[in-house]
């Protein structure tokens, strides 16, 4: 079965993971990896023109592997979520699993790296 990897960039917030799961509920999801980046206080964007310091931007990434037939519809549904910043389609190599952006495949119960 051919499959596609969807890489979703999100703004994390309360209920983001639940909304993502509910959106994909009617699609055959083969693999799912969710990586939440820790807040980095040194990554703030600095002072704006008004003199107010902006909060650091947090970005979360989800990598989802679905059958090729489900990919266009899943992509459309994901793009409608308020938390989603971008959805990229990548052909997944045969035998691949959903991996985090740094290439590591998370194991069950493993702490985020």
Residue entry with tokens 């993971």: 17
Cβ pair 64, 6 in contact under 8 A: yes
Q: What is the model's pTM?
A: 0.66
Structure token pair of residue 75: 């992509």
Residue 64 domain flag:
yes
CATH of the domain at 72: 3.30.70.260
Which among 71, 63, 61 is positioned nearest to 28, based on CA atoms?
71
Q: Look at residue 108 and tell me whether its pLDDT is greater than 50.
A: no
Domain of residue 69: give its range. 3-38+59-91
pLDDT in the model for residue 12: 87
State the Cα–Cα distance between residues 28 and 11, nearest whole angstrom: 24
Residue 15 domain flag:
yes
What's the Cα-to-Cα distance from 85 to each of 15, 25, 29, 50, 51, rounded to whole Å? 16, 20, 21, 26, 27
State the Cα–Cα distance between residues 57 and 93, nearest whole angstrom: 32
pLDDT in the model for residue 28: 93
Model pLDDT for residues 34-86, shown as the tens digit of each residue: 998 776 545 445 455 556 665 666 889 999 999 999 999 999 999 999 999 99
Residue 104 domain flag:
no
Structure token pair of residue 96: 């691949």
**Total domain count for the chain?**
1
Model pLDDT for residues 88-103, shown as the tens digit of each residue: 998 766 655 555 445 5
């Amino acid at each position: 079965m051919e499959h596609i990897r969807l890489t979703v960039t999100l703004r994390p917030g309360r209920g983001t993971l639940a909304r993502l799961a509910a959106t994909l509920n009617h699609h055959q999801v083969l693999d799912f990896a969710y990586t939440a980046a820790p807040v980095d206080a040194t990554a703030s964007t600095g002072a704006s023109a008004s003199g107010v310091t902006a909060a650091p931007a947090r970005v979360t990434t989800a990598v989802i592997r679905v059958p090729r037939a489900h990919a266009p519809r899943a992509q459309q549904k994901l793009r409608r979520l308020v938390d989603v910043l971008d959805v990229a389609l990548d052909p997944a190599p045969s035998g691949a699993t959903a991996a985090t952006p740094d290439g590591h495949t998370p194991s069950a119960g493993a702490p985020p790296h």
